[in-house]
């Protein structure tokens, strides 16, 4: 792609677009937040009867996933420390399905990006893609689990409980998904996804029942985050209670979920997307757009992504939900893990590459010019967020200013106005 020549031609075609100035906005939700993380983990473990079943010399497998979770290193370290106090031997098992390129070393490297390494959590990391066949669901689907985890005396899945990006059900992202998809590795995840995302809400509990019946799952450590990506709750749930308690925690998590308080908008700009932020790169529960579930609030006619997080290691799966991306993002992409993700999930829409523009300015102009719901070339309604995990502050275009000041959850910073190229996170 000849960027200089192409940029000149595109700039001429899109010259009629006026990019408005932006104003900073801050959310003022009243959100629960745990500050004393280690104490919270210790407290919930002490209250959990199952945790008292750990005996000296036993091996305890603790899961670590492929998402950026608030205080995850501290949570894992504290859990491992409490297990050691009982004389047992904890170790970490990557529980991330096919992420990391469906490769054992790749999954260990992915954990390292989140600060999870043997020296930081003071536990051995045992990474393998080998699985053990545990049994079958009632409809004859095979259920697999990580071989290293199955060698342990106890398994403790640790996971953030939240709304999934592409399906709804009694359980979505959380402890059950960590067991079925995470510890299922590529093989188990692929089987569970065989009928596509529409069946996942039904399949996850089916698979989980087989795992809970045949694997030494002791308890799950559930994490709920607030709208600012902070820690709102951490709770130890006994294995036999996971399928009962997780739906309640999911409901609580959804009540805290961040949302864009404007509807409709012309353009949603996502500064960065990535697998560490969301399984879909950018959470459809925030953007309002899913290849599977369709469109909903904030009903952005166009969505643009400017960059890919470094922690994604090139995995841009989910980019198919956007209309345009920058050349910078394209250059960071590694299509191998993207296609592995698509194969495992049986999803080809989310891995499609959107229109690629030379830079941020032309990406904005392209999106606004191609809006057909209304003329967005002069007074565009734009929301610009850093990523979908944190909406504590973001930028809005001046045409949204008057509306924003009527939203009680928003504090508009009139003193912070910038031209579009000065709007950085």
Q: Give pTM, 2 decimals.
A: 0.82
**Segments of the chain with pLDDT less than 70:** 1-5, 422
What tens digit of pLDDT does each residue of 234-270 get? 999 999 999 999 999 999 999 998 889 999 999 999 9
How much is the pLDDT for 52? 96
How much is the pLDDT for 419? 87
How many CB atoms neighbour CB 106 within 10 A?
20
Q: With contact defined as beta carbons under 8 Å apart, do 4 and 358 qualify? A: no
What would the two tokens of residue 148 be? 């290293």
How much is the pLDDT for 2? 58
Distances (CA, A) of 357 to 20, 253, 373, 375: 19, 36, 22, 21
Residues 6+ apart with CB under 8 A from 282: 270, 273, 303, 305, 318, 321, 322, 387, 388
What would the two tokens of residue 273 be? 């997307």
How much is the pLDDT for 290? 87
Distances (CA, A) of 316 to 201, 305, 353: 24, 11, 9
Average of per-residue pLDDT values in the chain:
92
Q: With contact defined as beta carbons under 8 Å apart, do 275 and 281 qualify? A: yes
How much is the pLDDT for 165? 80
Q: With contact defined as beta carbons under 8 Å apart, do 113 and 100 qualify? A: no
What tens digit of pLDDT does each residue of 331-362 get? 999 999 899 888 888 888 889 999 999 999 99
Q: To which residue do tokens 């932020």 refer?
A: 277
H/E stretch holding 159 reads: strand 158-160
Q: To which residue do tokens 């990523």 refer?
A: 387
> What letter does residue 206 receive in the DSSP assignment?
H
Residue 85, classified by CB atoms within 10 Å of its CB into exposed (0-12), middle (13-18) or buried (19+), is exposed
Distances (CA, A) of 139 to 136, 208, 348: 8, 14, 26
Cis status of the peptide bond prior to 192, with omega within 30 of 0: no
Please say whether the dihedral angle defined by the alpha carbons of residues 35, 37, 42 and 45, taken in this order, is positive or negative: positive
- Rounded to whole angstroms, how far apart are CA atoms 78 and 42? 7
Residues 6+ apart with CB under 8 A from 71: 37, 231
DSSP character string of 320-376: GG-SEEEHHHHHH--HHHHHHHHHHHT-SSTT---EEESSHHHHHHHHHHT--SS--
């Amino acid at each position: 792609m000849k960027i200089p020549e192409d940029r000149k031609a595109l700039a001429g075609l899109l010259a009629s677009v006026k990019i408005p100035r932006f104003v900073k906005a801050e959310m003022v939700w009243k959100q629960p937040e745990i500050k004393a993380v280690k104490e919270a983990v210790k407290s919930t473990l002490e209250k959990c009867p199952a945790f008292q079943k750990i005996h000296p010399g036993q091996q305890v497998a603790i899961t670590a996933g492929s998402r950026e979770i608030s205080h995850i290193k501290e949570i894992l370290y504290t859990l491992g420390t409490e297990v050691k106090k009982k004389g047992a031997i904890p170790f970490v098992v990557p529980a991330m399905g096919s992420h990391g390129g469906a490769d054992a070393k790749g999954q260990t490297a992915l954990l390292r990006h989140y600060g999870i390494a043997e020296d930081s959590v003071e536990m051995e990391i045992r990474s393998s893609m080998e699985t053990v066949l545990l049994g079958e669901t009632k409809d004859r689907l095979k259920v697999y689990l990580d071989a290293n985890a199955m060698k342990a005396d106890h398994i403790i899945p640790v996971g953030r409980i939240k709304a999934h990006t592409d399906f709804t059900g009694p359980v979505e992202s959380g402890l059950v998904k960590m067991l079925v998809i995470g510890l299922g590795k590529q093989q188990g995840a692929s089987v569970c996804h065989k009928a596509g995302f529409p069946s996942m809400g039904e399949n996850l509990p089916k698979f989980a029942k087989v795992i809970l019946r045949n694997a030494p799952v002791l308890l799950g450590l559930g994490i709920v985050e607030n709208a600012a990506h902070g820690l709102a709750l951490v709770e130890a749930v006994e294995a036999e209670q996971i399928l009962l308690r997780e739906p309640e925690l999911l409901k609580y998590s959804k009540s805290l979920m961040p949302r864009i308080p404007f509807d409709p908008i012309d353009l949603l700009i996502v500064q960065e997307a990535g697998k560490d932020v969301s399984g879909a790169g950018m959470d459809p529960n925030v953007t309002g757009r899913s290849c599977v579930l369709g469109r909903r609030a904030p009903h952005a006619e166009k969505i643009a992504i400017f960059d890919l997080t470094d922690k994604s290691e090139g995995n841009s799966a989910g980019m198919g939900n956007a209309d345009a991306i920058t050349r910078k993002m394209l250059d960071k992409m590694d299509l191998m893990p993207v296609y592995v993700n698509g194969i495992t999930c049986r999803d080809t829409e989310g891995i499609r590459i959107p229109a690629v523009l030379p830079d941020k300015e032309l990406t904005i102009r392209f999106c606004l010019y191609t809006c057909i719901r209304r003329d967005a070339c002069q007074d565009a309604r734009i929301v610009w967020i850093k990523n979908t995990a944190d909406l504590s502050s973001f930028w809005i275009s001046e045409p949204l200013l008057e509306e924003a000041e009527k939203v009680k959850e928003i504090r508009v910073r009139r003193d912070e106005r910038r031209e579009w190229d000065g709007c950085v996170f």
